[in-house]
Each structure stands twice: as structure tokens, then as C-alpha cells.
Structure 1
Amino acid sequence: MSSRTNARFEDLLVLAHDLADRSRAVIRPYFRKRLDVADKGGPKGFDPVTKADQAAERAITRLIRERAPDHGVIGEEYGAQRPDAAYQWVVDPIDGTRSFITGVPMWGTLIGLLHEGEPVLGVMDQPFTGERFWSGKRGSHLQEAGGRARRIRTRACPRVKDAVLMTTSPDLLEPGAETEAFLRVKKDARMTRFGGDCYAYCMLAAGFVDVVVEAGLKSYDIAALIPIVERAGGRMTTWDGRPATEGGRIVAVGDPALHEKVMKLLNR
């Protein structure tokens, strides 16, 4: 597999699934076990990391080095390798470590792939429930534990007042403008739920959630989720309408007709 000759999507997707299988085997034995939790947040606030995060990223990186040595890797725990490569794997071994360390299964492994900066595929794997979400070439899919894969789609919801809104935590929004913008959307939405991390975006892709609004995200928090959401029929941008690939303030909608309405509330 070489980035000098545009790799076939099918081969890249096989590798992505193999990376998810490898990381699942590493992570699963750690969940709901007593773990030492380190804090890498410093003055910015508590940002937990465990041996499971680190071991999974190392396992993913080793397999990329074996199977696609000319590809780059951008990981949450160990940073960037080969940043000049055309293909970049963007990895968050446990997105939702706070949920992980509290025994709540609202977390997942994110494995995204950029080609020359553009998201081309993404996988969200949940080792405990056995679920896996991914973007195919033209659609998005879910395989539940022990089940057959099926295509997933977002649902129609053109009005904010009918929308189910999610965000991971209001504590992750900066006081002032960010919080006030989120509360404007929350006030108009039908219902708001918290605690989703990557799971919220996958539930949006599967047609159970209509809007996700977040801030302070990094590329490894979002790159894998963009193709899953968009190939299921949704739309994802920053709050000011730019591509979401680098993270920051993110808005995702299941119904593209909802995007402009949510953006107006966020930027009022």
C-alpha cells in the first residue's frame, strides 16, 4: 500500500478495520478494572489518560508501520509521525476517557484517515458493546455485537424546535460567548442530552440525534467522525462554517436544512 499511487479505498478500509480490531483487543481487558489515572491537563484542567489509551495507540501505530510505512500518524497520546505524508491516520485511542474511567460505556476508539488534508474514511469502535460505526465509500454503516452490518442514515429534522441536541459537557464550553451560544440552541431545541463524546455523533449518523454542538476539540476528536456523519446524510462544520477537520468549535446536524438555523443561533 503506497501513498505515491492513490491507494484503493477498499484496501484502506480493510486496514482501518484491522486497526480497530487490534485496538479493541488491547483496550477491552482494561475497562471496568481499577486503573491508575494520570492527569495530563495541567493548569488547563483535568485531562485523564490511562495505560489503555497509551497501549492502544502504540498498537495502532505499530500496525500502520507494518502495513503502510509511508503513511503518517497523528495521535492524541504520542503526537505526529511523518507529518509530510499524503495519508495521515488520525487516532484517538479512547475518545471519552472520563467515561472510561467511571465505567460508563459512552466512549470509543476513533480511527480517521486524511488524504492531503481531506477526510476519506473514519471508524468509531466501541470494544465493550461490540459496536462499530464506519464510513464506506458512499454511505455509513453500523455493525452491532454479533450482528450483520447495516447502512445507517440521519433523519429529517428541519426545525430546531423538533431537534434532539447533544454535547459532551457544558463544562467544556468557555464561560461567556461559547456558553451563551450553546444555551440559545438548547433553549429552542426539543430536548438536550449530555455525556456523548464520539457516541453522540454516531447516534446522529444513525438517526437518533439531530444536533451536536461542541467546542475545544482537536483534530483527533473529530476527523474520524466527519465522514461517518456526512456519508450518513449529515453536515459538520465549525461554528463559522469552515471545514471541521482541525477541530475547534464544532456543529454537526443530521438534516442539512437545520445547519443554517443552528448557525444563526450560535452566531447571533
Structure 2
Amino acid sequence: MSQAADFVAVAEAAAEAAGAVIRPLFRSALLVEAKGDASPVTEADRAAERAIRALLAVNLPGHGVIGEEYGETNPDAEWVWVLDPIDGTRAFVTGRPLFGTLIGLLHHGVPVLGLIDQPTTGERWIGVAGQPTTFRSGFGGTPRCRPCSSLSAAELSCTSPDMFDAATAPRFAAVKAAARRTTWGGDCYAYGLLALGLVDAVVDATMKPWDWAALVPVIEGAGGSCTDWSGRPLRLDGDGTVLALGDPAMLPEVSGLLTA
């Protein structure tokens, strides 16, 4: 097996370990506490990340880890895994299957592998740099972004209007006004739908590395682009803005509105 195939196998095993923790807790009575940023966190988040970290420690002990729940371990390593055990915790705690486990791998800070797993519906996207994205689901779907060169024809998605401040809200509003239609929510699931050619653009802000690291290879492998609002590659020291497009031909138009 190639190194990439080995890493994918580890990522899939990690997703299975996390899913085994998450599925029994979905739509169950959970004790939810508020974190400092007011987002809900449950025992499912913590236990799922512990399961992933334990598997990585056994299989790839020299690799680093950055996780939402337990912070950084060896973050200066050549290879660093970036974990969000439940991206879309608000959806999870309210019983909506619009969340996912995100497992990304950075090589010298650049996303080279990404996995989006929806453990309750059985959907899984896997992206590897330089390779076509793969998708497994009982519902069907082809991992390929669709052509859409104009924002006026685009299906736009955003996680929440609450992520914008006084500076960014008017810029997003300009994109929203120009788009064909806007839907809200979905977190990482919306990016998966973009990779299936069902959504054309996702615009978010205040994103952490664990929110976007896994998304980049998935979207790029499906023919799209995933950058910051200025069209620059996403990096650990970035500004937290994310712009995912199914058709990269839209980048000048959308980025122009977001950076005006």
C-alpha cells in the first residue's frame, strides 16, 4: 500500500471509532454544558476525540494532533492530524443529522487528506490531494461539483448569520443578495453537499482549523475550491474566513463582494 492509502485506512478506522461512540448517544438524553464561546459540548464530543487520539497514538505515534476538545499534541510535527469529533454540535444535541466527524491531515501545514463522516446516515466523503474525492452512501450521489459560473444561478449556504460581525455582515449580505437562493445550517454537511454538486457556494467566518482542514481535500478532489475570502489557501494562521465554491470560475465575483 502507498503512504496515502495507509493514512486513509487510519482515518477511516478513526472515523469508525468515533462513530461507535457517537451513534448510541444521538437523540439520547445528554448533559450539555456551555464552553467559553457559548457553543454546546457534550460527552460525545470528548469521548469521540479521545477514541480518535488513542487510535492515532498507536498507529502513527510520531504525528501531531490538533483537536477541538483537547488542544495540541506535537503541533510542529511534519504530519499533523486536525480533528473535530462533532462538527455541528448544535444540530447533534437537537437531533438533526446535519453534523459530521471531521478528520484532516496536514503536511507541513497544508491539507493533504480529509474525511467527512456522518455516522448516523452512513455517508462518508474522503479527499486525498491529487486524487478524485470518493463518497459512500446508501442514498446515492456522485462526488463531483457542478458547473455554475455566475452567483445569480448559485445555491448559497452558510452555517449561521451569527458568525458575522459589523465588518463582515455587510459583505456576506452582498453575496446573499446576488445569489439565487440561500440556505442556513449544515456545518460540514453543507460542504459535503457542495462536493456532490447540490450546493454551489458556502461562505463562513470565524472558522477554526478543525472546522476546515478536512474540507479542503474533499472539495478540491471534487473539482471545487476552498480558500479564504480573498482566494488565498487556508492556513493555520489565517483569518478564519472560508469560501468554498463548486465552480472556481465564480471566485473573482464572490471574492470581490466579500473583500470590497
Question: TM-score with structure 1 length normalisation?
Answer: 0.92
One of 164, 169, 172 as aligned partner of 2:163: 172
Question: Amino acid of the residue matched to residue 19 of structure 1?
Answer: A
Does structure 2 conserve the Cα–Cα contact (< 8 Å) formed by 1:40 and 1:47? yes
Worse overlay, 235-244 or 55-64:
235-244
For 2:9 and 2:218, the matched residues in 1 are separated by 16
Is the 8 Å Cα contact of residues 140 and 151 (structure 1) preserved in structure 2?
Answer: no
Structure 2 counterpart of 1:218: 208
Cα distance between partner residues in 2 of 1:84 and 1:170: 34
Deviations 1:20-69 (A, max 9, x none): 1111111110100010101112xx4x211000000000000000001010
Q: Which residue of 1 aligns with 2:136?
A: 143
Task: Encode CA deviations 1:157-211: one digit per residue, 9 max, x unaligned.
Answer: 000100000001101111x221111110000100000011001111111100001
TM-score by length of 2: 0.95
Q: Which of residues 96, 102, 111 is equivalent to 1:110? A: 102
Are 2:231 and 2:251, in contact at CA under 8 Å, matched by a contact in 1? no
Which residue type is aligned with residue 37 of structure 1?
V
Distance 1:199 1:102 in 2: 16
Q: Which of 86, 90, 95 is the matching residue for 2:78?
A: 86
Distance (Å, rounded) in 1 between the aligned partners of 2:134 and 2:3: 19
Q: Secondary structure at the match of 1:233?
A: coil
The 5 Å alignment of 1:67-82 reads 67-82=59-74
Contact 1:125 1:131 in 2 (8 A): yes
After TM superposition, give the deviation of residue 84 of structure 1 in Å: 2.2
Q: Counterpart in 1 of 2:24?
A: 29
Code of the aligned partner of 2:190: A
Instruction: Give the alignment's Cα RMSD to 1 decimal.
Output: 1.5
Distance 1:196 1:181 in 2: 21
Looking at structure 1, the residues matched to 56 and 44 of structure 2 have their Cα atoms a distance apart, in angstroms, of 18
- Identity among equivalent positions (%) equals 50
> Within 5 A, what are the aligned runs for 1:199-214?
199-214=189-204
1:61 aligns with 2:53: yes
After TM superposition, give the deviation of residue 235 of structure 1 in Å.
0.6
Match of 1:4 in 2: none
Runs of 4+ in 1 over 6 A off after TM superposition: none
The amino acid that maps onto 2:176 is K
Q: Is the partner of 2:77 in helix, strand or coil?
A: coil
* Conservation of the 8 A alpha-carbon contact between 1:226 and 1:245: no
Note if 1:132 corresponds to 2:124: yes
* Distance in 2 (alpha carbons) for counterparts of 1:87 and 1:216: 24
SS in structure 1 at match of 2:157: strand
AA paired with 2:50?
R
| Alpha-carbon shift at residue 94 of structure 1 (Å) | 0.1
Contact residue 99 and residue 118 of structure 2 kept, 8 A: yes
Aligned length: 257
Identify the match of residue 14 of structure 2 among 16, 19, 23: 19
Q: What stretches of structure 1 of length at least 5 have no aligned partner?
A: 2-6
